[in-house]
Amino acid sequence: MKTYFLTSFAAEARLISERSRFQIYIEIIFWRFPFSMNFITSTVPFLINAAFNLPFCLIASIGNFLILVAFARTPSLLSPSNVFLISLAISDLCVALIAQPVYMAWKLHQHMNQTPTMVGFLGKASMFVSSLLCAVSFMIVSCLIVDRYLAVFLHLRYHALVTVHRVSYSIVLLICFLA
């Protein structure tokens, strides 16, 4: 290996040119800039991430909890379409109470240890929980779209075919399938 007596910026530019563009994109995606790891490049993205995640976590928790309380206090609102909305609110509440705090703990651990990889329990747990809850939310919205289509297409037979119990059963099967 050759020794280069260059300025630090030129040495970093050489290191960047030796790495593939894919590695640089991955570093940028995970808030690790390909330049020097000084205070500004390692702390500012972490603070921006925390500044956005913390308020969104609180807003999502409060909003989805209020939706669940509204449905719990008004049992006359229980319909097949609203069962999908309730399950979507539960899924989003889990994102706000589980996925975002685990992600923030993982990012804090990354920031403190200066490790850009996903090694360890927090990185794997964050990716698993986030992926699972994202898939559940996506599938529930897809089922809600199919439900609305069936309501228009079946018209008078809709209430006989699509019941609250069948919708609840399908949501449980969906979550078991995705997990």
Q: Are residues 129 and 93 in the same domain?
A: yes
Whether the predicted pLDDT of 176 surpasses 80: yes
Q: Are residues 169 and 115 in the same domain?
A: yes
Q: Tokens in use for 49? A: 């991430």
> Which pLDDT tens digit goes with each residue over 115-170?
666 567 778 888 889 899 999 999 999 999 999 999 999 988 988 999 999 999 99
Q: Are residues 98 and 151 in the same domain?
A: yes
Structural domain containing residue 87:
39-178
Q: Are residues 21 and 72 in the same domain?
A: no
> Which pLDDT tens digit goes with each residue over 7-55?
444 445 455 555 555 555 555 555 544 444 444 455 667 777 777 888 8
Q: Are residues 6 and 83 in the same domain?
A: no
Q: Are residues 5 and 80 in the same domain?
A: no
* pLDDT at residue 90, rounded to an integer: 94
* pLDDT at residue 121, rounded to an integer: 78
> Which pLDDT tens digit goes with each residue over 52-80?
888 889 999 999 999 999 999 998 999 99
Q: Are residues 31 and 50 in the same domain?
A: no
Q: Are residues 81 and 29 in the same domain?
A: no
* pLDDT at residue 4, rounded to an integer: 45
Whether the predicted pLDDT of 91 surpasses 90: yes
Q: Tokens in use for 138? A: 């996506």
- For 133, 146, 166, the CA distances from 160, given in Å and listed in that order, are 31, 16, 11
* pLDDT at residue 50, rounded to an integer: 75
Helices assigned H by DSSP within 74-96? 80-94
Cα separation, 106 vs 108, in Å, equals: 5
Mean pLDDT of the chain: 79
How many independent structural domains does the chain possess? 2
* pLDDT at residue 25, rounded to an integer: 56
Is residue 133 within 8 A of residue 139, CB to CB? The reply is no
- Angle at the Cα of 91 from the Cα atoms of 90 and 96, rounded to 5 degrees: 95
CATH number for the domain that contains residue 94: 1.20.1070.10
Candidates 71, 67, 84; CA nearest to 151 is 84
* pLDDT at residue 2, rounded to an integer: 47
**pTM of the complete model:** 0.70
* pLDDT at residue 9, rounded to an integer: 46
